[in-house]
Every structure is written in structure tokens, then in C-alpha cells.
Amino acid sequence: MAKYLDQINSPSDLKNMSAKELRKLAEEIRERIIATTAHTGGHLAPNLGVVELTLAIHRVFNSPVDKIIWDVGHQCYTHKLLTGRREQFPTLRQLDGLSGFTSRTESEHDPFGAGHGSTSISAALGFATARDLRGTDEHVVAVIGDGALTGGLAWEALNQAGEQQRDLLIILNDNKMSISPNVGAISSYLAKLRASVHPASRRARRDAMRILQRIPMGDAMLEAMDRVKESVKQLVVPGMLFEQLGFTYLGPVDGHNLPKLIDVLENAMRLDGPVLLHTITQKGRGYRPAETNPSKFHGIRPFDISNGEVAIRSHPTYSEVFAQTLCELAEEDERIVAISAAMLSSTGLELFKKKFPNRCFDVGMTEAHAVTYAAGLAAAGLRPVVAIYSTFLQRAYDQILHDVAQQHLPVVFAVDRGGLVGEDGATHHGVFDLSYFRQVPDIILMAPADEGELRQMLVTALAADGPAAVRYPRGSGPGASLDQPLEPLLVGKAQVVREGADVAILAVGNRLHPALQAAEQVAKEDIDCTVVNTRFVKPLDEPLIVHLSDTIGRIVTVEENVLAGGFGAGVAELLSDRGLTDVQLVRLGIPDQFVQYGDTELLRRQCGIDSDAIAEATVQMCAPRAAHAAH
């Protein structure tokens, strides 16, 4: 039993703890987080880095009256342990258990849900505005990482917050990382601020200002000297960028020094107007494997605590196959460049970066910029490949439509994590991409049934004269051969992989193998199925679909995407447009709801897109025929 942690039932229990007791509590929290994530998987390194910071926040502020808003929310495990969810913590990221992120439906201590980056300052400013309009006096705190600070949304919010001058505290959790190491000018600026913590830097600043203040001269010279002093301050005073935006800048402060953090936070809460507190933390702190490899432990599957190792996969992941294939193609075509939005490691592009360092660009947590940047590269004659998780690419929809598609630019979208992603839940399921891409005129939209087909589709996308997207799932595939020639597919042509006369099952991407399993199941009930690997969601293989409608008349579509606007909707539109009104059509996909977190196969079962659900739909479709035969 943890001596201190198991006595914490709400943040108020921290108020009378001594500094020594708080340090011991921090140790117990780290032990609990490591033990739990070793079993459930999760965002280990980000959470280990904010233990002391979270303790200090809850020691000083009074949640849930005071509003504490976590950016992304993937660093909220300590927050959950302190806010009445300790006993539920072993259910983290499990079906019907605790979310891995903040959730308004889970606790009154989570005033704003999250999952995507750069949202906290905008939301916090909304809370502060509402407070002032109501005339109440609660504190509003936003905790944002330096990785999320690279996102444009964060700067849009900083711009308005500085102008409005409302009481608001923004805590910058600076650990030099997002998922991959941070890049860009903002990261460089923060690095300079971190350097300003050095005693020599502080002495230099003090000496420079002291000299300026002591120089005796007339009024005119003093006025000129004031201008010089302001210029020097730009160089020697940390945080001047934030000061110029209208914030009081505090820091940098050691984010693991509890007494110092508590002292600074108590002072910050007394200041008027917007305040930015810059804290420096270590991602993965307290667990050596996570300290040495924070990218690996940013989000990790269950692992062995003794060495940090996860089980070896039997097959390479789709992300790894994508990256290897892209490297092969880039050897032959110097126009190919790769773009990532703060996810080189997660998308597999670290391999591309090693082989082609001058042709790989990590643009930070800036999905919209990444797409328009790619559009510029394409307009200049290159062949950009943008590798972004499906859930994050949603943030760049206007850029896909306006900057790429309207100009018919040959940008390739490698849409990673398409479909259900399991324990990360609703904020991360990539189940909307087929729908939002289907709306884009003239785009080629593909979904591979296995890793080998992913390779062919990447070739097909790069051979296109306009935009193309390849959407593939998380994790490993079925272990298909990777030795086939890298040749493009015939655009818009599906593949019939099994023939039968009773029902046609049209399967998208990774739903092909469950569809084949379902066909084998119903064959035992004397139902013979045609199974089609659709390959292309846009353009559809219209001749094949019309032929199956005419010859079979019963069609089941199955996709790991929302039913609204997805592949099945496209088939329904086609049948309607062709006047094929006597065709029986059943569409299987994600229902009109946000899917929670849990084991991926359990979620597929709940959503009715596993092999059993496909088989059941097929049997029900044929039930009238079977009943007629019985008579």
C-alpha cells in the first residue's frame, strides 16, 4: 500500500502536506503510473514529466472551482490520481474504464476534454471570458507543452488573450519534445530561454541593466538611452516575445522543484492580467528507459517494467512498410519529399530522414501548414508525401480542399491510423477520413487490404497527376508478401477475391479478411458469397458494382469508417443514380456516435464490423429466400 497516495481522495488532501511528504507522494505516483501503464499501455513519458508540476498546481489552486485545462490531455494521469479516480486507475484506457485523456463526462475536475494539441489556451480564454461575464472570481489555468505551442491555434489564442488582458495563467511545460524532438523557430526560442537559467546569463542581464541605469546624461540623451535600453532588453530579458504579446512572463522555473513551483504559482495567481509561467521538465523522469528514449515511451504498448521492452511484433507495421517503400521509391525519384507534423517516429519517417535528410521535413504540430507547405512544394515541381494520422489530418481539411485539390496538385496523403485505434479512444479513432476525402473532387482515395497492397497503392498515388490519399490502419497487417513488383494499380478497379451467387460483400481495406472469414462461415449455411476487395473508395468501380447489382441483387458493404458519407453511402448514391432500386443493400460501418476506448477487436464487435457481424448481416439478407425454400 502506498503510504501517501492511497490517502489522497481529492486535491484538498494536498493542502497540509509537508514538502517532504509531497516528494514522497511524487515517488509513489510515479511508481503507480509505471505499474499501470506497463499493464495497460499508455502515455508514459509525458506523465512522468509532470508529476511535481501537477502536485504544485493542485496544492495552490482549488479544483474543480478553479479551472485547470490540460492541452492534449495525455499528461493527466497524476491529475486523475489526485482527483478521486485513484481506485479506477487500473482500468485506464480499458473498455468502460478511465479515459487516457481528460473527459468532461468522467469528472468535474476535467472542465474541458482534449486529445488533440494546441487547444488549451483557446478553451481557457473562453472560461476566463465566461467568468468575467458572470462576475465570478475563479482562477483559470491552461497547461500546454512546448510541442503544442508550435501549433498555430495556440498562437491565435495567445494573440487574443494578450489583447483582452483577462486574468489567465498559462503554464508552459517545456520538455523539448512533442512525440519527436521539437523543431522550428519557436523551439529554438524556448531553448534560448532555457539557457537564460544559467547563472552567468542572469549576471550578464543584471550587469547590462545596471550599467544603463547609472550612465549620467541630459534629458535628451536619457530619452535616447531609454530606447537603447528597450533594445537591449529584447536581447537580455527572457520571455520578451511573450511580454510583447501582453503577458507577464515568469521563469524559466525548474518543473521538478516542488517548493519553488508552489512559491511561483502562489505569486502568479496574485498577478493581474494574463501570465505565462515557463517551467522546464524532463520527459520520462523517474524511469530510466523513458528518460533515455522519450519518443518510444510517449505512447507505448504494455511493456516489461524491468527493461522497458515491449513484445516483438510478428510482422512489420503498416507505418514501417510505408516508410520502407517510400525510401525505395525515393531512391529512383529525386522529386519525392516527405513531410511530418511532429511525428517522424510514429509515422515511420525517421527511416526516410536518415536516408534523405534534406528531403524530409518535420514542421511541428502544424497539420494545416504541413498540407499547404506540401501544396507549395508540389506547385514547384516536387512530389510531396504528407504522412499524418487520420485524426490529426482532420485539422487540415480546408487546406486539402482549397490549397491542394482545387489546384489539382500532386500531393500524396499517407493517412496513418485510419480506422479504430483502440485504447486512445474517440479523439484518436480515424473513422471520418473516407467521408471527408470522398467530398473532395477528383481525388484518388485508396485503402489497402494488406501490407503488400499498401506498397502498390503508394506507387499508384505517386504516379497520379493530382491529389491522392492512401489510408491504412494502426499496427501490423496480416503478414502479406512484400516481394511483389512495385507497379501501380489500375485506378478505380476493384478486385474480386471470391465468387458466389447469393450475396456480394464489398469490403474496404482491413475489412477484407473478416469478410472472407464471414463468407466461409455462411457457406456452412449454404449461402455462397462473392467477396470484393474494393481497393478504391474514390473513384468507385462502377461497372463492377452495377454488374453485381444486376446479377446478384444483394450487396453488403463493410468499412471501418462512419456510415455517414462513407464507402457504403457512395454505393447507395451510385445505385440511386442508376435507378437500381430493387437491389438489397446493407451498409456496415461505424454508427453515428463517438466510439469510446478499449481493445480494438472489442470495439469492432460493438460497432458490428467484425466477421460475425458481417456473417449475420449476410444470413439475414438471405433469410427471405431460405424461408421461401422451406415452404
CA distance 281 to 255: 5
**Which residue in the list 367, 423, 451, 560 is annotated as catalytic?**
367
Same domain, 466 and 501: no
Q: Mean per-residue pLDDT for 562-569?
A: 98
Q: Mean per-residue pLDDT for 93-119?
A: 96
Domain assignment of residue 233, yes or no: no
pLDDT given at position 520: 98
pLDDT given at position 144: 97
Domain assignment of residue 109, yes or no: yes
pLDDT given at position 314: 82
Catalytic-residue membership of 354: no
Same domain, 326 and 464: yes
Same domain, 333 and 449: yes
Q: Identify the domain boundary among 257, 292, 327.
A: 292
Same domain, 466 and 513: no
Three-class SS of residue 496?
A: strand
Catalytic-residue membership of 260: no
Same domain, 444 and 571: no
**Which residue in the list 80, 85, 395, 498 is annotated as catalytic?**
395
Residues 6+ apart with CB under 8 A from 394: 432, 433, 436
Residues 6+ apart with CB under 8 A from 152: 118, 366, 368, 369
Helix/strand/coil (H, E, C) string of 555-623? EEEEEEEECCCCHHHHHHHHHHHCCCCCCEEEEEEECCCCCCCCCHHHHHHHHCCCHHHHHHHHHHHHH
Domain assignment of residue 41, yes or no: yes
Measuring CA to CA, which residue among 378, 433, 437 is closest to residue 411? 378
Domain assignment of residue 325, yes or no: yes
Domain assignment of residue 63, yes or no: yes
Strands 274-280 and 168-174: parallel
Same domain, 286 and 349: no
| Res. 204: pLDDT tops 60 | no
Query: pLDDT tens for residues 351-390?
Result: 999 999 999 999 999 999 999 999 999 999 999 999 999 9
DSSP string, 230-282: HHHHHHHSTTHHHHHTTPEEEEEEETT-HHHHHHHHHHHTTS-SEEEEEEE--
Q: Mean per-residue pLDDT for 515-534?
A: 98
Same domain, 426 and 558: no
Q: Which domain holds residue 399?
A: 318-471
Measuring CA to CA, which residue among 508, 526, 505 is closest to residue 516? 505
- Strand positions, DSSP E, 108-245: 140-145, 168-174
Same domain, 324 and 250: no
Domain assignment of residue 231, yes or no: no
Same domain, 452 and 525: no
Contact (Cβ atoms closer than 8 angstroms) between residue 606 and residue 627: no
Q: Identify the domain boundary among 471, 504, 523.
A: 471
Domain assignment of residue 481, yes or no: no
Q: Which CATH number is 168's domain given? A: 3.40.50.970
| Res. 24: pLDDT tops 50 | yes
Domains in the chain: how many in total?
Answer: 3
Q: Identify the domain boundary among 258, 292, 326.
A: 292
CA distance 246 to 225: 23
Domain assignment of residue 88, yes or no: yes
Same domain, 503 and 373: no
Same domain, 142 and 31: yes
Catalytic-residue membership of 499: no
Same domain, 173 and 31: yes
Reported pTM: 0.89
**Which residue in the list 30, 80, 86, 283 is annotated as catalytic?**
283
| pLDDT bracket for residue 239 (50, 70, 90) | confident
Q: Which CATH number is 616's domain given? A: 3.40.50.920
Residues 6+ apart with CB under 8 A from 465: 408, 410
